[in-house]
Amino acid sequence: MASSFPSVQQLAAEARRVYGQVFGGDAPQVAVCAPGRVNLIGEHTDYNQGFVLPMALPLVTVVVGSQTSGQDVTIVTATEEADEPRRVDFSLPSDGSPLSPGLPSWANYVKGVIQHYRAPPVPGFRAVIASSVPLGGGLSSSASLEVAFYTFLQQLKPDDGDKVSKAVACQQAEHTHAGVPCGIMDQFVSVFGREGHALLIDCRSLEATPVPLADPGLVILITNSNVKHSLTGSEYPMRRRQCEEAASILGKASLRDATMKDLEEARARLDDVTYQRARHVIEEIDRTARAAEALKRGAYKEFGKLMVESHNSLRDLYEVSCRELDELVSAAMEVEGVFGSRMTGGGFGGCTVTLLQAHAIDRTTLHIQERYSGTPTFYVTTPSEGARALGLS
Ligand code: GAF
């Protein structure tokens, strides 16, 4: 059975309730939200300037709040954060000096966004966060928080940038304040997400092509493995470095510019691991472009085959999958009516994404539940809107 999750309106109501409780009955002036994402294909290609094909989710982070007269900031999260205080208070430096990261760790995303906001100085404010994006589940809870906060600040004091610069500022926040050298995919799709569409994003030109994905006969199932291996912190930057090294050995600005022919010609100058990493990226960029074409034609079988190829490559060449994700993918692929399945996001735990015929949903979740050695959580999702301001009814 798929889990139900609160609607944007329910989350906003909860955030407003907590705001009133914490701030002595006051009502917030502003409410905004920004979605998490699931990536359908194109993994670990964004920081190689390649293609990705994510969609924004109906799972969102909501921020409600008001500007205050001074330099003080108070933020409360209505969502359970693992072993961390739910409230943070700090002052905005009047000389524009950087806000250092610290504890609670969830507040670092907000501090990073304040730091990179394109219309400094940011005024003081009070805010409450409520989110339905599972934390650390590979569905971009952090990007949705960054983009939601940027959108919140835009309501208090408009910035001078366009939507691309907003996504880039949120990506910088993650680099400087969370210490993750991520690509642009998560923040980009959280800003630009479009209802009923996946986005084919060219991470070199930062242009996005919406690909329709609203077939009532089709279901996009997300399965959370509910495991998160602690490897991500060190392995992600290592993968990024390996790709940069491979590109430099090939004499290319990035692996986006390399072909398999280039890679084979340079084979003798690459160690086995660097070769495998580069091969995954070069083939995955090509796979993603082909997958987007297949989706446009409604060729779901073809798309599903590419999803499985992507998973196998992430498992064998890029080595970012894990036993639990492999189990979930194998189980899903045993069910009739399933087109394809793969791990999604950075890896080492988190979620899989599965494309299937709508009538096969019950038997698919049942089968996965029977076969998976852990306890999965299921979300049936549809492509949704990007970040936006909400009415305060
Ligand atoms: C994480 C990163 F934040 C993204 O930029 C991307 O690299 C992804 O892992 C892997 O495709 O979500």
- Ligand 1 centroid, distance to 300 Cα (angstroms): 24
Q: pLDDT, tens digit, for every residue of 34-59?
A: 999 999 999 999 999 999 999 999 99
- Does ligand 1 lie within 6 Å of residue 256's CB atom? no
User: Is pLDDT of 276 > 80?
Assistant: yes
pLDDT at 96: 77
- Ligand 1 centroid, distance to 288 Cα (angstroms): 15
Note if 186 is an active site residue. Answer: yes
- Ligand 1 centroid, distance to 43 Cα (angstroms): 7
Q: pLDDT, tens digit, for every residue of 319-359?
A: 999 999 999 999 999 999 999 999 999 999 999 999 999 99
User: Is pLDDT of 82 > 70?
Assistant: no
**Percent of the chain with pLDDT strictly greater than 90:** 91
Q: Which residues on neighbouring strands pair with residue 65, listed in sequence order?
A: 30, 127
User: Is pLDDT of 84 > 90?
Assistant: no
**Range 281-298 average pLDDT:** 98
Mutate to test the pocket of ligand 1, among 182, 239, 241, 287 (most ligand atoms within 8 A of CB): 182
pLDDT at 343: 98
pLDDT at 136: 81
Nearest CA to ligand 1 atom 9: 346
- In total, the chain counts a number of residues equal to 393
- Ligand 1 centroid, distance to 353 Cα (angstroms): 15
- Does ligand 1 lie within 6 Å of residue 185's CB atom? yes
pLDDT at 391: 82
Residue 304 confidence class, pLDDT cut points 50, 70, 90: very high
What is the atom index within ligand 1 of the atom nearest the CA of 44? 11
pLDDT at 324: 98
- Ligand 1 centroid, distance to 73 Cα (angstroms): 30
What is the atom index within ligand 1 of the atom nearest the CA of 183? 5
- Does ligand 1 lie within 6 Å of residue 314's CB atom? no
Per DSSP, 177 falls in state: I
- How many angstroms separate the CA atoms of 309 and 315, rounded? 10
The residue ranking higher by pLDDT, 49 or 97, is 49
Residue 137 confidence class, pLDDT cut points 50, 70, 90: confident
- How many angstroms separate the CA atoms of 373 and 327, rounded? 8
Mean residue pLDDT of the chain comes to: 95
- Does ligand 1 lie within 6 Å of residue 19's CB atom? no
**Range 252-276 average pLDDT:** 98
**Range 121-141 average pLDDT:** 94
pTM beyond 0.90: yes
Residue 193 confidence class, pLDDT cut points 50, 70, 90: very high
Q: pLDDT, tens digit, for every residue of 195-232?
A: 999 999 999 999 999 999 999 999 999 999 999 876 56
Phi then psi for residue 129, to 5 deg, are -110, 140
pLDDT at 173: 97
| Distances, alpha carbon 391 to alpha carbons 5, 31, 81, 158, 191, in Å | 20, 7, 27, 18, 18
What is the atom index within ligand 1 of the atom nearest the CA of 346? 9
Catalytic residue (choose from 26, 95, 160, 186): 186
| Distances, alpha carbon 230 to alpha carbons 103, 234, 322, in Å | 19, 9, 12
User: Is pLDDT of 393 > 80?
Assistant: no
- Does ligand 1 lie within 6 Å of residue 345's CB atom? yes
- Ligand 1 centroid, distance to 189 Cα (angstroms): 12
pLDDT at 191: 98
CA 388 to chain centre: 17
- Does ligand 1 lie within 6 Å of residue 183's CB atom? yes
What is the atom index within ligand 1 of the atom nearest the CA of 142? 3
User: Is pLDDT of 388 > 80?
Assistant: yes
Peptide bond into 121 cis (omega under 30): yes
- Does ligand 1 lie within 6 Å of residue 186's CB atom? yes
- Does ligand 1 lie within 6 Å of residue 53's CB atom? no
**Range 308-323 average pLDDT:** 98
User: Is pLDDT of 63 > 80?
Assistant: yes
CA atoms within 13 A on the CB side of 251: 4
- Ligand 1 centroid, distance to 342 Cα (angstroms): 15
- How many angstroms separate the CA atoms of 70 and 61, rounded? 26
pLDDT at 231: 59
